[in-house]
C-alpha cells in the first residue's frame, strides 16, 4: 500500500541548510523515522509531508528529499514554507495545497497523521476515500503548563471532535488513549529503537563503577512539563554528591535558577543545550550513572497522556532509570524501573538515594530491561505489528 504521512519531519539536509544555530524539537522526527522504517519493512511505500518549522527566519522553497534506509526509501515533501514565528497556520494551508496536488497526481491507500493537529484536520476530507489512521502520541488535552491548565481547550475540543469523526483507526502511544472510542481499531506502539540507539549503546554486562559525584541525566528539554525543578528540589534532600546534567532546548524558570544558586555545595547542575541524537545516546550509555524522567502528570487519566519516547531510549542504554508514573508501560517493563508516584521532592530524593545505595542490583535490572526493549521494540518487531494492523483495517474498511 502507498501511505501519505503528515508529520513535522526535519531531514538532516533540511536541518543543515536552514536550521543552523536554531532551536527546535526533534522528537517528532525521531518517532516518525522509526514508524516510517517499520512501515517500509512491512512492505509498504511511504511519503512524508512535512510543514517544516517556524524558527528558521527565512522563506524556504518547496522541495522533495529522499532518505535511504536499510528498509527502503522514504520520500519527504516540503511545501513553500514561511519559516517565521506565528506563521504555522499559513504553512498548514501551504501543506494542504501541496497534498491536494499530489493526491490528484498519485494514488494513495492510507493517510497517516501524527497527532490531532490543524495539518491533519485540513486534509482529512480530501482523503475520505482512503483509510485514515491517527498516530496519537500526545493527548491534546494534556495540562502541561504551569498551574495545570491547557491553552485554548475549547478550540482543541472542537478540533478533537472533527478529527476523530473522520478517523478510521489509531496507533496510540499510551494504552488508555482514546479509551472511550471502543469500536475504533487501535494498536499501541510507544516507540521503536532505531539504529542511532543500537549503534551508540554499550551492551557490556559489567556493572558501572559508581564514583562521586553521581552523574544524573535528564534529556528532553527544560520546559516546566519535564520537571527539571523537581529534581533540583529533590537534591536538597540528598547528602550524596550528585551532578545533574540537563540536555535539550529551552530555559529554566527564574525560580528554578534561584534554587540552583542555593543548592548544597556537594551538588552541581550543568546545562548543555542540544546535542546530536547519536551523541546524547552515547553519553547516556557511557558517561551517566542514573537517567531521570521527571515528566509531570498531565492532568488526564493515567497512561492516556501519551508516552515519553525517551523512556525506551533510556531503557535501551542499560543504565538505571528513575521515573515519574508517566513512564509506566507494562508489568515486564515497570518492574525493572525505579518509579516515584507523586511529584514530591522528598519522595524523589528517597528514590535517588535508594538507587545509589543499591546501585549494583539496579544495574542488573537495567541490563535485563535493555535486553527486553531491544527485542520488543525493535524495528522488525514493530514492523510485524504494524503490518498485521494495516492488513486487518484494510479488510474491514
Taking 90 as the threshold, does the pLDDT of residue 390 lie above it? Answer: yes
Q: Using pLDDT thresholds of 50, 70 and 90, give the confidence band for residue 290.
A: very high
pLDDT of 378: 96
Q: Using pLDDT thresholds of 50, 70 and 90, give the confidence band for residue 52.
A: very high
pLDDT of 2: 97
Taking 90 as the threshold, does the pLDDT of residue 261 lie above it? Answer: yes
DSSP three-state, residue 209: coil
Is the separation of the CB atoms in 295 and 327 below 8 Å? yes
Cell of 45: 511505500
Average per-residue pLDDT in the chain?
Answer: 94
Q: Using pLDDT thresholds of 50, 70 and 90, give the confidence band for residue 395.
A: confident
How far apart CA 111 and CA 5 sit, in angstroms, is: 6
- H-run or E-run covering 7: none
pLDDT of 165: 97
Taking 70 as the threshold, does the pLDDT of residue 93 lie above it? Answer: yes
How far apart CA 226 and CA 243 sit, in angstroms, is: 18
First to last CA, the chain: 14
Q: Using pLDDT thresholds of 50, 70 and 90, give the confidence band for residue 147.
A: confident
- CA atoms 254, 252, 141, 178: torsion sign: negative
Residue 3, burial from CB neighbour count under 10 angstroms (0-12, 13-18, 19+): buried
Cell of 146: 504551569
Residue in the block written with cell 544555530:
21
pTM of the model: 0.94
pLDDT of 341: 95
DSSP three-state, residue 45: strand
- Determine what percent of the chain is predicted with pLDDT higher than 90: 88
Taking 70 as the threshold, does the pLDDT of residue 332 lie above it? Answer: yes
Q: Using pLDDT thresholds of 50, 70 and 90, give the confidence band for residue 189.
A: very high
- H-run or E-run covering 322: strand 321-323
pLDDT of 370: 96
- Determine what percent of the chain is predicted with pLDDT higher than 70: 99
Taking 60 as the threshold, does the pLDDT of residue 207 lie above it? Answer: no
How far apart CA 365 and CA 204 sit, in angstroms, is: 13
Taking 60 as the threshold, does the pLDDT of residue 364 lie above it? Answer: yes
Phi, psi for 149 (deg, rounded to 5): -130, 170
pLDDT of 274: 86
Reduced 3-state DSSP string for 274-305: CCCHHHHHHHHHHCCCEEEECCCCCCCCCCCC
Amino acid at each position: 500500500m502507498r501511505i501519505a504521512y503528515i508529520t513535522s519531519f526535519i531531514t538532516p539536509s533540511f536541518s543543515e541548510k536552514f536550521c543552523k544555530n536554531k532551536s527546535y524539537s526533534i522528537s517528532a522526527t525521531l518517532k516518525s523515522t522509526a514508524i516510517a522504517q517499520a512501515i517500509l519493512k512491512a512492505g509498504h511505500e511511504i511519503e512524508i509531508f512535512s510543514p517544516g518549522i517556524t524558527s528558521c527566519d527565512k522563506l524556504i522553497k518547496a522541495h522533495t528529499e529522499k532518505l535511504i534506509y536499510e528498509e527502503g526509501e522514504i520520500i519527504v515533501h516540503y511545501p513553500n514554507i514561511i519559516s517565521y514565528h506565528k506563521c504555522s497556520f499559513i504553512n498548514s494551508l501551504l501543506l494542504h495545497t501541496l497534498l491536494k496536488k499530489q493526491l490528484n497526481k498519485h494514488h494513495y491507500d492510507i493517510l497517516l497523521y501524527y497527532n490531532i493537529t490543524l495539518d491533519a484536520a485540513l486534509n482529512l476530507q480530501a482523503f475520505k476515500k482512503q483509510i485514515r489512521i491517527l498516530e496519537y502520541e500526545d493527548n491534546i488535552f494534556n495540562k502541561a503548563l504551569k498551574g495545570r491548565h491547557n491553552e485554548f481547550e475549547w478550540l482543541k475540543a472542537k478540533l478533537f471532535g472533527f478529527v476523530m469523526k473522520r478517523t478510521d483507526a489509531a496507533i496510540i502511544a499510551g494504552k488508555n488513549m482514546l479509551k472511550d472510542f471502543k469500536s475504533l481499531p487501535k494498536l499501541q506502539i510507544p516507540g521503536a529503537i532505531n539504529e542511532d540507539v543500537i549503534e551508540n549503546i554499550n551492551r557490556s554486562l559489567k556493572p558501572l563503577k559508581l564514583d562521586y559525584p553521581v552523574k544524573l541525566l535528564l534529556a528532553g528539554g527544560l520546559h516546566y512539563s519535564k520537571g527539571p525543578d523537581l529534581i533540583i528540589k529533590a537534591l536538597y534532600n540528598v547528602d550524596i554528591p550528585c551532578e545533574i546534567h540537563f540536555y535539550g532546548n529551552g530555559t529554566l524558570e527564574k525560580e528554578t535558577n534561584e534554587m540552583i544558586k542555593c543548592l548544597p555545595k556537594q551538588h552541581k547542575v550543568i546545562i548543555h543545550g542540544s546535542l546530536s541524537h547519536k551523541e546524547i545516546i552515547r553519553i547516556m550509555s557511557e558517561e551517566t550513572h542514573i537517567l531521570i524522567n521527571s515528566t509531570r502528570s498531565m492532568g488526564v487519566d493515567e497512561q492516556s497522556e501519551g508516552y515519553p519516547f525517551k523512556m525506551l531510549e533510556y531503557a535501551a542504554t542499560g543504565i538505571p532509570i528513575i521515573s515519574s508514573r508517566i513512564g509506566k508501560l507494562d508489568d515486564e517493563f515497570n518492574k525493572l524501573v525505579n518509579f516515584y508516584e507523586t511529584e514530591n521532592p522528598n519522595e524523589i530524593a528517597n528514590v535517588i538515594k535508594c538507587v545509589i545505595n543499591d546501585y549494583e542490583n539496579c544495574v542488573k535490572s537495567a541490563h535485563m530491561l535493555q535486553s527486553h526493549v531491544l527485542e520488543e521494540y525493535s524495528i522488525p518487531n514493530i514492523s510485524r505489528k504494524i503490518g498485521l494492523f494495516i492488513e486487518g483495517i484494510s479488510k474491514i474498511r
